[in-house]
Amino acid sequence: MSEHQHGSGRCLELAERLSEFVDGELPEPLRIEIEQHNDECTKCKKFVESLRRVRDLAHLLPRPELAQERLRRISEAARRRLES
């Protein structure tokens, strides 16, 4: 089964949920779907990696709300890159 759904539509849809994915807050079916998508899609995989990195850094910061803000900005920038 290899439905290679390329095109940023799918990526954008998933990108909406990637920060929850990184936080482990997604329900199982969606989580698996994203994992499978990331096996085929380098763009989304890289996106998740950068979100993870920022999230890990966030734990080290004294001001979590600033990290949240930065995380949001990075994820927006990444999403914009997916769109182009």
37 vs 70 by CB, closer to Zn ion: 37
CA distance 31 to 37: 10
Contact between 11 and Zn ion per CB under 5 A: yes
| Region of 3-11, 23-31, 51-59, 71-79 interacting with Zn ion (CB under 5 A) | 3-11
Residue 46 CB, nearest approach to Zn ion (Å): 10
Under 8 Å CB-to-CB from 79, ≥6 apart: which residues? Answer: 12, 15
Residues 28-57 close enough to bind Zn ion by CB under 5 A: 41, 44
Contact between 78 and Zn ion per CB under 5 A: no
Cβ contact 26:17 at 8 Å: yes
Q: How many residues are there in the chain? A: 84
